[in-house]
Structure 1
């Protein structure tokens, strides 16, 4: 199912609707309004839900509230997490809105079905996963081990982790950084012109400054890789096993290659045993680990939630609170009351 047929031909429930087809075709033409990741998710959800509708002789577009309930319960039955089920519901709703249709998620029956799914999952022990934090002490250990390494891969990985921790950028945002995005402050530290992030999308972009040590590690990698004179090159590019970069790359590294950086680092740090998780995710360091670890380190230092949100370009307070909940737990009012020196015997 290609994109256009996915939104036009197979999307219709047996009858040709010229108006619906035109609206879906227009949606496809303006797909750049969505992030690439959201668009990929939408296509994936469409393939899965359309296949389910075909196999069960249900309507795909428009999808009735009864069919929507059954589809969501089907996802629960095959072991999908509540967050995944919510994504499916939201994207199916998005497709309906862009097709000029009433989303089935507005039905009270569907609302109750989603609440039932969430309640059942929570009572049965499901918990929201969280990336294993990559903290300052982890960065210090790897810095001591790799800063003088003769391997170009180590220098790249170390620079990548310094920038990831120091900027709190998402993995996709790190992958887009180019040599031309670097400038120097008066004190010699590196300034990164990030351009845009998942939550900040305007022409001004955002500016990130690196610490002196992180600036030094990044320049050591750039000089060793021969990227200094290549303004269009991505900062973090593949390294061949011959200990050289294969070529100056203008194409960002893939997500799996960037995830490998974190897996190698975790292994080198001595954590050979993977952590046990609910769904098998987040058993080691991953692309989000530096953001979680940096947020927790800032919370330990008493930095305000507002400042942490600004550093990580988060727009929702609950996201940050979920990341730092273990750090903040001992700061509760009752803990302070019970530990007060004036508490009577």
Structure 2
């Protein structure tokens, strides 16, 4: 096509979307679309516009070795590309719909839920953080993540300027569920405020990224990457001598999951938890807290039976 490569076509397509969507969203769509484009090229099929039959065949093949969430993301990326190219979305065709149904039935497992880093686990991990620059940062990050119920990319994007003067509140300017930047305010506990103060004082920081990387004990001036946050959590849990299976199940979402579970057990209603964590979907939050909700229900059940027996 006039000497323009497929990757250049994709890059140009997404370049016009900058500013309208988050960088993470565009990067994810772009990566998924390149998988489909390469698959089509290997079979001498058009990828833009794509035929429904081609997309269905792509889904059927992907279903043999990919999770349903990954497949759906890639179909969403194909739909997005057609929309941005002002083309009718072939993903709405019944052929594609049926291929996705087959994929779901072939791989019926639910998405793996990150383990919740509850307050009990958090205190154990923080207690094991050494009194070093990296240890102080880790303790502050884990505590802020728990208090704010933030995702890892929201933690990575935090600025010192987002804190209020006494560091009891922090502004979350944008998130996955808040693409237009309405923002929300999160509240920090006294323990978290103290840990933040210790980290900022030791690092001599007064502005810019709140959490930063350390390379050969030298402090970076850039934001800590989300992948680094995931590794940091696992390393901190390992340092606290936590069970290997627990360490494997932890992720960048674990503080968010654990805090939501703790709030449920403490008696907070779903609306309050949704507000605290910036959730828009009741269904998504329900998956996070279902185990804690079930535990709470059974605790009440047995307590009620004991009261009846005692009476």
Q: Structure 2-normalised TM-score? A: 0.89
User: CA shift at 1:180, angstroms?
Assistant: 1.8
| CA displacement, residues 264-285 of structure 1 (integer Å, 9 cap, x when unaligned) | 112022225236xxxxxx9332
What is residue 191 of structure 2 aligned with on the other side?
213
Whichever structure has more helix as a proportion of its residues is 2
Unaligned 5+ segments in structure 1 are 12-23, 276-281
Residue 223 (str. 1) matches residue 214 (str. 2): no
Matches of residues 251-330 of structure 1 in structure 2 within 5 Å? 251-274=222-245, 283-330=248-295
Q: Superposition RMSD on alpha carbons, in Å?
A: 2.6
CA, structure 1 residues 154+302, in 2 after alignment: closer, same or farther (shift >3 Å)?
A: same
CA contact (8 A) 2:14 2:26 kept: no
- Pairwise CA distance, 1:30: 2.9
Secondary structure of the structure 2 residue equivalent to 1:286: coil
Question: Secondary structure of 1:110's match?
Answer: helix
* 1:73 aligned residue: 60
TM-score, scaled relative to structure 1: 0.80
- Partners in 1 of 2:47 and 2:136 — Cα distance? 50
The Cα offsets for residues 216-246 of structure 1, whole Å up to 9 and x where unpaired, read as 010011001111xx32x2111123444xx43
Q: What corresponds to 2:41 in structure 1? A: 54
Partner of 1:132: 115
Q: Does 1:88 align with 2:74?
A: yes
Alpha-carbon distance in structure 2 between the residues aligned to 1:128 and 1:336: 29
What does residue 190 of structure 1 align with? 168
Whether the 8 Å CA contact 1:7–1:28 is kept in 2: the answer is no
Q: What CA distance in whole angstroms lies between the structure 1 residues aligned with 2:15 and 2:215? A: 38
Picking from 83, 98, 103, the partner of 1:117 is 103
Aligned to 2:219: 246
Match for residue 25 of structure 2 among 15, 38, 48:
38
SS in 1 for 2:186: strand
**Distance in 2 separating the partners of 1:212 and 1:336:** 34
CA gap 1:342/1:224 in 2 versus in 1, 3 angstroms: closer
The 4+ residue runs of structure 1 with deviation greater than 3 A are 4-9, 24-27, 201-204, 330-333, 339-343
**2:144 aligned with 1:166:** no
Deviation at 1:28, TM superposition (A): 2.5
